[in-house]
Structure 1
Amino acid sequence: MTVAVTLIAGVVFGLALAAPPGPMNAIIAEESVFRGWGAGFKAGLGAMSADVLFFVLALLGVVSIVEQFPTLRGVMVAIGGLLMLYFAYGAATSVKETFKTTAAVDDETKGFRKAFVLAITNPYQIIFWLTIGVGLLQPGQLDVLSELPSIGGLGELTGQFVVETGSPTLIIGFFVGIALWIVGFPATLVTVDDRVEAFTPIVAIGSALALAFFGVVFLIDAWTTLV
């Protein structure tokens, strides 16, 4: 029972990291509607590859170095912010293009590179692996229901939702959750795009705005850290 619960918890953690709106999903959305499901999936794979890299670095204790050297973190965030503004410009200019003409000539792997570079300079992903990610890797148990204030006093629920942290099952579930998102999210976008003619420019505009917003946020973060 504990193994099944731990696996499900890992999937939920993975989806919780991958699903919220942000620069990664803006890239996945843009790639999906302009270049098809394969390009959107590869963009998601780029972001997931960064998480695999962070996972390995967290195991080795290297991720904590970023926290110890604020200047290094600030430089990384600044690079990410500038890249987001650059990609936002690209998304804005692509509004004039059509899906059919773009798909034939564009490189489907470009989204992988864009998402990977943005992910490894994303302070939110770095912070995740410094906090929650480290907690997932440390051996132990977490009784989820007993930690909730509203129901923690109900003794009959104690032990009903126990997650084994630091276990391979939790880590496998975590990456399965991310994989489910990078498969399903592009597929949903492509399906809607096939049915709604005006969907492509809407997604391009939304992606440009999202990337521009996070680019500015990242630059402000970097300025605060470095200055």
Structure 2
Amino acid sequence: MSTVLPSLGAGLVFGLALAAPPGPMNAVIAEESVVRGWSSGARAGLGAMSADALFFVLAALGLVAFVEQFPTIRAVMVGVGGLLMLYFAYGAANEMRTTFREAADPETDSAGFTKAFVLALTNPYQILFWLTIGVGLLNSGTVDVLSYTPYVGASLSNLLIVQTGSPALIVGFFGGIAVWVVGFPAALVAAEQRVDSFAPVVAALSAVVLGGFGVLFLWDAVQTLV
């Protein structure tokens, strides 16, 4: 019992630290939130989280490493991800004049889940995480939680080191992602309600982020295939 709560807490921090930084997934969540409302943004977040859950199961079964053994398959997946991001960037740019106050039909509202789920499945960063760090969470050992925080991990290393291989750590990890999935859209919707021009700005930034990552992913795929 003495190690359960610390493991849960560490997992919660780990999940939040990985989910919060800017990137293609948060760009999709942000766009869905300010254009269609909290529920759509949360669905998009659940789509990305569902992909992580699938990767977790595949990692536990030892199947995730299959992708790394075949560079061509990985390159095709990354290339597809790049094309999807460019397509979604185009969609985000077209929604710059829309706000979440404009009612969305159920089909459009549910599209965020599928969009984020498919995008996450072809996201090399998520694949690489589960090939390396994610697999390590399942085995006995230690993990320097904050050192894996995108962009600022180097400055946070050795601040929070916990034992791995604990179910509580995994539960906390996905709990942290869930907190972000629920809280981030809520914060964006609250901000949009106070600033009329917020939705177009978020849509524009989402288009830029998705477009940039789309080009980056395509370049990565071409370099691997060549």
Structure 2 length normalisation: TM-score? 0.89
Q: 1:205 to 1:65 in 2, by over 3 A?
A: same
**How far apart, in 2, do the equivalents of 1:43 and 1:143 lie?**
29
Write out aligned runs for 1:32-47 (5 A): 32-47=33-48
Task: Give, in whole Å, the separation in 2 of the partners of 1:133 and 1:101.
Answer: 40
Within 5 A, what are the aligned runs for 1:5-154?
5-103=6-104, 107-141=108-142
Cα distance in 1 for partners of 2:52, 2:100 equals: 30
Q: Output the amino acid matched with 1:191.
A: A
Aligned partners of 2:87 and 2:103: how far apart in 1?
A: 19
Number of equivalences: 218
Q: Does 1:217 align with 2:216?
A: yes
Deviations 1:50-83 (A, max 9, x none): 0000000000111000111100000000000000
Which residue matches 1:3? Answer: 4
Could you tell me which runs of 5 or more consecutive residues in structure 2 were left unpaired when the two chains were aligned.
146-153
Report the equivalent of 1:167.
166
Q: Deviations over 1:109-130 (max 9, x none)?
A: 1000000000000000000001
**How many percent of aligned residue pairs carry the same amino acid?**
66
Runs of 4+ in 1 over 4 A off after TM superposition: 141-144
Aligned partners of 1:34 and 1:102 also within 8 Å: no
* Larger Rg belongs to: 1
Q: Secondary structure at the match of 1:164?
A: strand
Counterpart CA distance in 2 for 1:113 and 1:193 is 24
Report Cα offsets for 1:82-118 as digits up to 9, x if no partner: 0000000000011133433353576211000000000
Alignment of 1:187 onto 2:193: no
Q: Determine the C-alpha separation between the residues in 2 that align with 1:143 and 1:96.
A: 43
1-structure distance, mates of 2:144, 2:88: 42
Task: Calculate the aligned-residue CA RMSD, in Å.
Answer: 2.5
Q: 1:3 Cα shift?
A: 2.1
Which whole-Å CA distance do the structure 1 matches of 2:64 and 2:161 have between them? 27
Give the SS at the match of 1:95. coil
Distance in structure 1 (CA, Å) of the matches to 2:169 and 2:26: 24
Q: Are 1:201 and 2:194 matched, yes or no?
A: no
Task: Return the TM-score normalized by structure 1.
Answer: 0.89
Equivalent in the alignment of 2:148: none
The aligned counterpart of 1:157 is none
The superposition leaves residues 133-162 of structure 1 with CA deviations (integer Å, 9 ceiling, x where unpaired) of: 011111234588xxx9xx98xxxxxxxx76
In the alignment, the residues of structure 1 paired with residue 107 and residue 192 of structure 2 have an alpha-carbon distance, to the nearest angstrom, of 18
Structure-2 separation of matches of 1:206 and 1:173: 30
| Distance in 2, Cα, partners of 1:88 & 1:125 | 20
CA gap 1:2/1:115 in 2 versus in 1, 3 angstroms: same
> Residue type of the partner of 1:99?
F
Query: Gapped runs of 5+ residues in structure 1?
Result: 153-160
Say if 1:83 and 1:118, in contact at 8 Å, map to a contact too.
yes
